[in-house]
Structure 1
Amino acid sequence: MFRQILLILSTVLLTSANVAHAAAPTQHYSLAMLQQDFQQLYQDLQRGSYDLFAHYPKTRYDQSFEQYLVKIDSPMTELQARKHFMQFVALANIAHTRIDLPAAQYRDFVKAGGKTLPFSFNINGADVRVASYFGSSEQVQVGDRVLSINGTAIAAFLQPLQRYVAADNSTLRDRLTEAQLTPLLWLHHGEQDSYSMTLQHQVTGESYSMQQKTLSHTEQAEHSSAHSGEGAKPRQYKIIADNVGYLQPGPFYNIYAATDAEIWDTTEFHSFIDEAFTALLKADVTAIMIDLRGNPGGTNSFSDHMLAWFANKPFRFASDFRIKVSNLSRAANKARMPENAPADAISLQLEHFYAGQKQGEVLSFPLSYSQPHSKERNISATDIQVFILIDRYSYSNAVSVAAIAQDYQFATVIGEPTADLATTYAAMETFTLLHTGLIVGYPKALIIRPNGNTQPAGVTPDIQLPFLADANDSQHSLFQIADYLKKKTGTELGAGQ
C-alpha cells in the first residue's frame, strides 16, 4: 500500500489493532536498556528515513540527542519511556516519523471508566474554539473561544501536548492535536478530576469561567446522544438539490472489515462507487460533488476506481516515488509479504526492487498508470461537472485524490486548503526497539504529486470557500456549497433534498 492512513483518530485508540507490544504498565527498564534503545532509535531513524533531517537539521538533532540521552538517568516504565522517546522522534517534524500513542493503555483506561475532558477543540494557533461539548453546562456553545485552562493561556497549555505530535507544519500539528486531544491530555497529565476553564462567548464576546468536571466515556455519550440525531452514514450518495448529485465515498479502505486481512479488500467499495455513479447518472444530474471533508484516507487501490469514473486519460498518484533503500525497509517489507504472493503484489514488487541495491541509495520506484473506465462507465465525455470538496481535515489518500483531480484537470477542487501534504515523506515502515519493544515509524520515500511540484505542501482548492472554516453545521455548509454550485453551473437548484 503506497499511502498509509496518517491520522490516528481517538476512536482507533479504543481498538486493539494498533497494539503490538503489551508490556506490563509497572515494569521498569534499566538505565542500560533505555540508553541502548535510545541509541538504536536515533541510529535506525537515520538508516531508514528518506531524509530524517529535512525539517530539523542534523546539528540540532545531534544536540537534542545528547540532551535527551542525559535525561535518561533512572529506570522507566514503558509509558515513561514512550513519552520521552515520542517527544524526541517528533522533533523531526515529519508526520510519518513517529511513535504512536499507547493504544492499549488508553483503551483500558477508558473501558475502566476513566474520565476525560468532555470537549473537542478547533485549534488554529492561539485561536482555540469549542468544536463540540459533551457536558451539562448550558453556558458552553459551539464556537466559543477557549482563553485559558488551569490558569494558563490556551496556547501555552497546549504546547507540552504538541511536543508528542509528529507533523510537517504547525497547521497539521494543530489538526492532529484536535484529533487526539483527550488521549494527549491523559498521556501528559494523567486522569484529572476537573479542569478550570475560561472561555469567551462567540456571540456576545463576554468571558465566563467554569470548573469542568471530567466525565467517563459513558457519561459523555449520554450528553452527546441528547444533542444529536441519527449518525451520518460513512458512505452515501443522494441528490442535494434539483440536479446536483452528492457522493460521500468515505474512507478508502474496507470499513466493514472483520479482520486485518479484510481491511484492504476493495470489493465493497468498488461496488458502492459503481452503484452511486449509476444512480446519479439515471437521475440526470448536471454536477456531482464528491465530499472528502474529514476523510482519513486509505490507499489508491480503492480511490483509483472512483477516479476512473471521470478521468479522461491514464493517471497515477505521483509523478515520482523516490525510495531510500535500507536493510530496515527490506526486513519490514519481507515480514509482511504473504506466502505465494501474486506477481503484482506490492510487497513482491518491492522485494524485486530492493534486490541488488546498496543501502542508502535513493531510487525511483516504477509506478504504473491507472486507466479510465470504459465509455459505459465514464462521464468525462458528458457535460456533468465534477467537484472535489476538501477541507483541513482531509488526510492522506484523500489529499492524493484531490491532487490527482486537480493536476490532471479531472475535476474542480473546492473547499479549503488541506493541512496534510500532497508532496510528502511517506510510505511508512516500522522497526522495533530491542528492550522496550516500542514500535517506531519512519517514511522510506518521498512522494511527489502528479504535477511534479517537489515542495511539501497541501492541496489549495481551485476555488476556496472561506465559510467552511466557520461552519458549525456540516449540513448547513452543504447547502451553502450547493448555492455556490447553482451559480457556478447556471443550474436552478432547489432548496430541499
Structure 2
Amino acid sequence: MSFIKIFTFGLATIAAIYAYPSIPVLKSSSVDIEYCEDGNAPENLSIINEPRYQLYNTHAHNIKLMSDCDTLNLTLKELESQKFNFITAQGDTTLVEIFRDDANSYEYPSQEMRKKNPNGKFGKDQAIFDISALMHAISQIHPDIYYACPQIKLVTATKAVLDNLPDSVSRIDIYNAAAPLVAMIGDGHTHLSFPFNDLFTEELYRMPVLFYVQQDGTLQCRMSPDDIIPYKAKILSINGHKPEDMINSMLPYESGERKHFRMMRIRHDFPALFQILYGADSYDIEYIDPATNRVTTTTIKAMQWGDLCKRWISHEPKNQVVSDDYSYTVDSINNVAIMDFRSFTDTEKMSAFADSMFTELREKNIGNLIIDIRNNGGGNSAVGDTLLRYIAPVPFRQFDRVIIKTSNLLNKIEDADDLPGVYLFENTDDVIAPRTEEEKHYNGKIYLLTSNFTFSSAADFSWVFKEIGTGTVIGEETGGMNVCFGDITMYEMPLSGLRCSISYKRFWQFNADENDIHGTLPDIEVPAQDALEKTLQLIKTGK
C-alpha cells in the first residue's frame, strides 16, 4: 500500500484547544475509514486518536477519503501537503496531514492505465508504459547499465521497439519485445523471465518433440510421440531450419556476458522460444538415425498436451535420484577421491561434509583429490570459503572489490532503508587463513574440473583456487567471469507482471584485471566431458 503512515507527534493539547476550523473536516463514527488513490480500488485505514497529530505520505494526485457518514476529496501536487480534522462521534479530534512524495510515475500507473482490454490484452500505450518502466527500473538499480552496450545503442534500440509495437499486445508479445533489450545489457544475472504458463496451455498445439540442446548448438531427440524419432537422434533441420540457425535466432533473447551463459539459458527456454519463433501446424524433421546412420525425414503434426502425455516415450531413468549438492567417493586402490560438487549451498552442511570427507582422506592416506564443478551454477560464496580453508596453500580471499548501488526503488523492492548512492568496498588486507595440520588441512594433490557451465560462485571458487596455486585446473574456461555483476533483486513490471532479475552489485575477484576480463582458464584444456578421464590418466601416470 503506497498510502503509508510515517510518523506521529503528540500534539493533543494543541489539537484540543484549536479545532483547526479553517481546514477541511472528515466526520466518522469510528476510527476505520476507506481511501482511494487516483481512482484505484478502496483500501482500509485506521486513524487513531492518540497522539492527536498523524502524518501520512502518498504518491497519489487525487485522494478520496470515505467514512461511514462522510466523504472528503483532496488534490495534491508533488511535494505538497494538506491537512484535515478527523472528528469522531465521541467528539475526539485528530489533525491529519497528508504529504505527496516526489514519486516515480512508473511505480504507480493510474487506474485508466491499468485497465485491460476485454480480450485480456494490453493496448500500445500500456505496453510502452510497461517496457519503459522496466528499462527505467534497470537504470535505477543496475550498477552500470551501459557497461557492455553503449548508451546510444540501447536507447536507439528501445525507441525502435516502442515505436513498432502493435495496437494490441499480450504478455508474450511484451516479453518478445523487451527481452532482447534486457539481454543487450550483457549481464547474465539481469534477465527477463519467459511467461511459460501464458504460452503452454493445455489447448496449445505445440511441437511434439522434446530436444537436448548441446553445448555446440546441435540438437538431439529427447522424447517423441511413439518413438517416431529415435532417442538421441541428431536433428539436421526442422521445417528447413538448421539447429545452428535456430539457436542463433534465440541468443538475442538470453542474457549473459558470454555465449556460454546464454546457451545455458537456451537449454531451459528452448521449447518456449521455439514455439514463438518457429511454431507451426506440422513439422518436417530431418535427422540421422543412430541405428543405421542414415538421414531420415518424418512429418509430425503439432499436438496438445493431453495427447502428448499419452504418446511420449521416455528413455530417461524413472525415479532418477537427484544428486546431492555435494558428495564424494574414495578409490583406495588408485589413491584418489572424487568430490561431485553441484551447488554452493548451506555453509553449515558444507562444514560437516568437509570435516567428514577430509577425515576419511587422511585416515586412508588418499593422495589425490578431484573436485568436479563442471555442472555447478553457483550459490553462496561462503560455502567456497569453507572448502578452500581445507585445501588452500596460503591465506586467501575471493574478492578484492565490490561496488554496491542502492536506490529508492531497490529499497522499496527489498523493504530496506539504505541511503541511495553508489558505494565502493575494497578488501585489500583481509584474508582467510587455511586450516592447520591439526585442523585437518589436506596436503595431497588437488585437481579441479571446470566447464563453460561453471558459473557464479562456482566460477569465483575456481578463480581463487587457481590464483593461489591450490592445484591443477582441467577442462574448459568457466562461464563466470573474473569481473562480473551479481546479487539480484526481482522486479515485477507494473502492468504485465513479467518478472526481471536485476543485479545491484559488481564484483572483482582476487587479483582480477579490469582490462582482462575472462573466466578461469584451465591449466590443461580439454572438452568438459573428457576432463575426468584426462585427470585420472594424469594421476595414474604420476604426472
Alignment of 1:68-467 (within 5 A): 68-102=161-195, 104-105=197-198, 109=201, 116-124=208-216, 128-130=218-220, 133-135=222-224, 137=227, 140=230, 142=232, 145-186=234-275, 188=277, 195-200=283-288, 206-211=294-299, 222-225=313-316, 232-240=323-331, 242-253=334-345, 265-335=346-416, 354-355=418-419, 359=421, 361-364=422-425, 369-380=431-442, 382=443, 384-454=444-514, 455-466=516-527
TM norm structure 1: 0.74
Instruction: Tell me which moved more, 202-211 or 75-84.
Output: 202-211
TM norm structure 2: 0.68
| Kept after mapping to 1: 8 A contact 2:172/2:195 | yes
Deviation for aligned residue 1:442: 2.2
Per the alignment, in what secondary structure is the counterpart of residue 435 of structure 1?
Answer: coil
Instruction: Tell me which moved more, 214-223 or 453-462.
Output: 214-223
Per-residue CA deviations over 1:449-487 (Å, capped at 9, x if unaligned) read 212222331111111124x35x5xxxxx63443122222
| Kept after mapping to 2: 8 A contact 1:245/1:289 | yes
Per-residue CA deviations over 1:232-271 (Å, capped at 9, x if unaligned) read 5553211246201111132112xxxxxxxxxxx4333332
| Kept after mapping to 1: 8 A contact 2:397/2:432 | yes
Deviation for aligned residue 1:222: 4.9
Would the alpha carbon gap of residues 317 and 30 (structure 1) be closer, same or farther in structure 2, given more than 3 Å must change? same
Residues of 1 paired with 2:201 and 2:436: CA distance? 52
Give the letter for the 1:163 counterpart.
P
Per the alignment, in what secondary structure is the counterpart of residue 93 of structure 1?
Answer: coil
Deviation for aligned residue 1:447: 1.2
Would the alpha carbon gap of residues 227 and 103 (structure 1) be closer, same or farther in structure 2, given more than 3 Å must change? closer
Residues of 1 paired with 2:144 and 2:159: CA distance? 20
Per-residue CA deviations over 1:386-442 (Å, capped at 9, x if unaligned) read 111111221211111101101121222111112332321222233332222333222
Per the alignment, in what secondary structure is the counterpart of residue 445 of structure 1?
Answer: strand
Residues of 1 paired with 2:373 and 2:334: CA distance? 22
Per the alignment, in what secondary structure is the counterpart of residue 299 of structure 2?
Answer: strand
| Kept after mapping to 2: 8 A contact 1:324/1:362 | yes
| Kept after mapping to 2: 8 A contact 1:247/1:276 | no
Per the alignment, in what secondary structure is the counterpart of residue 435 of structure 2?
Answer: coil
- Structure 1 or 2: more strand by fraction: 2
1:59 counterpart = 2:148? no
Per-residue CA deviations over 1:311-338 (Å, capped at 9, x if unaligned) read 2333222121122343333444445xxx
Deviation for aligned residue 1:29: 2.7
Per the alignment, in what secondary structure is the counterpart of residue 63 of structure 1?
Answer: helix
Residues of 1 paired with 2:203 and 2:382: CA distance? 35
Residues of 1 paired with 2:335 and 2:202: CA distance? 46
| Kept after mapping to 2: 8 A contact 1:148/1:157 | no
Residues of 1 paired with 2:438 and 2:309: CA distance? 50
Deviation for aligned residue 1:68: 0.6
Per the alignment, in what secondary structure is the counterpart of residue 319 of structure 1?
Answer: strand
Per-residue CA deviations over 1:171-211 (Å, capped at 9, x if unaligned) read 33223212432243345456x67532223478997533233
Would the alpha carbon gap of residues 447 and 204 (structure 1) be closer, same or farther in structure 2, given more than 3 Å must change? farther
Would the alpha carbon gap of residues 243 and 459 (structure 1) be closer, same or farther in structure 2, given more than 3 Å must change? same
Per-residue CA deviations over 1:68-90 (Å, capped at 9, x if unaligned) read 10122323232322232222211
- Structure 1 or 2: more helix by fraction: 1
* Equivalent of 2:125 in 32, 46, 49: 32
Residues of 2 paired with 1:183 and 1:70: CA distance? 25
1:483 counterpart = 2:541? no
Give the letter for the 2:153 counterpart.
R
Instruction: Give the gaps of 5 or more residues in structure 2.
Output: 1-115
Per the alignment, in what secondary structure is the counterpart of residue 182 of structure 2?
Answer: helix
Deviation for aligned residue 1:374: 4.1
Report the counterpart of residue 48 of structure 2 in structure 1.
Answer: none
Residues of 2 paired with 1:116 and 1:376: CA distance? 59
Root mean square deviation of aligned Cα: 3.5
Residues of 1 paired with 2:327 and 2:293: CA distance? 39
Q: Which has the higher contact order (CA 8 A, sep 6+)?
A: 1
| Kept after mapping to 2: 8 A contact 1:134/1:220 | no
Would the alpha carbon gap of residues 486 and 35 (structure 1) be closer, same or farther in structure 2, given more than 3 Å must change? same
Instruction: Give the gaps of 5 or more residues in structure 1.
Output: 1-22, 254-264, 336-350, 472-476, 491-497
